Amino acid sequence: MTAIEILKQLKDKGVRFTPQRQAILEFLLGTDTHPTAEEIYHHVKAKFPGVSLGTIYNTLNMLKEHGHILELSYGDMSSRFDGNPSNHYHVACTECGKIVDFHRPLLELEREVGSHTGFQVHGHRLEFYGVCPQCAARDIKKMN
Amino acid sequence: MTAIEILKQLKDKGVRFTPQRQAILEFLLGTDTHPTAEEIYHHVKAKFPGVSLGTIYNTLNMLKEHGHILELSYGDMSSRFDGNPSNHYHVACTECGKIVDFHRPLLELEREVGSHTGFQVHGHRLEFYGVCPQCAARDIKKMN
DNA sequence: GTCCTTGCAAAACGTTTGCAGTTCA
DNA sequence: TGAACTGCAAACGTTTTGCAAGGAC
C-alpha cells in the first residue's frame, strides 16, 4: 500500500491528509533503514524546511496507533521506526544501533502464551542482539 | 545464588560491597514483579532513607553489565528490571505495563540469524504483548 | 466555519553525570 | 591510604504538551 492510499484510508477515521504526513510516511515506506525520529525529521526538513520535530512525533504516534508502522525501542537508544509491520524480525547492533531485518515465518506461540497466562495476546516481538560486521571490523582495527 | 554471594563474587572484579547494593539486589532477587527503577528506589528508601535514585541506577547498570540482571525496556514506559536472567520470556500488558514470566526453553535461532546477516549474535529477546486479565476485566466494567 | 493540524517553545520524563564528602578494603 | 561509592543536584536526550496561527474538508 502506498503512503497516499494509507492516508486516504485514514480519512474515514477523521485523520486529515497533510503534505507533511505524506512526506513522513513515504520516507518510511521507501526505506529499510529503520530511522530514528531525528533522522526522519532531517529528511522531511529537506522538503519542508519549516517542519518541526513535534509534528514528526505526532505523525509517528498516529501511524503507530493505526498499526501502519512499528516502533522499535531499546533501553539507551532512541526509538527507531519501521514502515513494514509485516512478517519479519530484527537484528540490532549493540554498538551502533543499526537494525537489519530477518525474514522468517512468524512464530506461532501466541495462542500458547495466552492459554498459559490468561492474557489476550495480540502481538509479539522477537529481536536478536549482536555486533554488526562493520562494528566488528572497527573493533579489530582498534585492537591493533 | 543469593545477593550476598553475587556481591562477594563481584569483589574479585573490584566492585565494592555496600549495604545499598545488597538491599537493591535482595529486593530484585526476591520479587517476580519486574519493578521499575522508581519502584526499587521507593522500596530501598524504606531501609535506607538517604538513598538516591542515582545510586539505584548506578547499581542496576553495574549488575546489568555483569549479567546478573536483565533490563526490559519499552517505548513509552520506563525500563523494568528482572533479577532472574535465565530461561524465560515475557508477556507485557499494554494497558498497565505489568510484565509476567513465560517459562519456555530458549529459541535456538541465533546461529541461523548470524549466518544470514553476518552479525555476531550474542542474545535475543522475545516478548508478547496483550491485555492482562485484570485490565480486561476493568475494560469490560467501563463499557457497562 | 469547524476542528484538526502545524510550528514553536517550554516542559516533562527517565536516566546520566559531576562533584564533594564518605566508606570500604 | 586510596580507590570506589554515595547523595545530591544539575544536565542530558528523547518525547510530549500547550497554544496561537494556519489549513483541510
CATH for B1-85, options being 1.10.10.10, 1.20.1290.10, 3.40.50.300, 1.10.1040.10:
1.10.10.10
Q: Where are the domains of chain A?
A: 1-85, 87-144
pTM of the predicted model, to two decimals? 0.82
Q: How far is CA B133 from the centre of its chain?
A: 22
At B88, the amino acid letter reads: H
On the question of a common fold for A1-85 and A87-144, the answer reads no
pLDDT at B93 over 90: no
Instruction: Return the beta strands (E) in chain B as ranges.
Output: 70-72, 80-82, 88-93, 99-103, 120-131
Q: How far is A107 from chain B (nearest CA, A)?
A: 10
Residues of chain B neighbouring A132 (CB-CB closer than 8 A) = 117-119
B129 vs B63, residue with greater confidence? B63
pLDDT at B136 over 70: yes
- What is the fold of B87-144? Dna Ligase; domain 1 (3.30.1490)
- List, for residues B43-82, the tens digit of each pLDDT value: 999 999 999 999 999 999 999 999 899 888 765 668 889 9
Nearest Cα to Cα of residue A63 among A7, A1, A123: A7
- Cβ separation A128–B136 shorter than 8 A: no
- List, for residues A73-111, the tens digit of each pLDDT value: 766 678 899 998 677 888 988 777 788 889 888 788 889
Contact between the CB of B22 and strand D at under 7 Å: no
Specify the pLDDT at position B74.
67
- What sign does the dihedral B74-B76-B79-B82 (CA atoms) show? negative
- Cβ separation A100–B121 shorter than 8 A: no
Specify the pLDDT at position B42.
95
**For residues A82 and A70, is the Cβ–Cβ distance under 8 A?**
yes
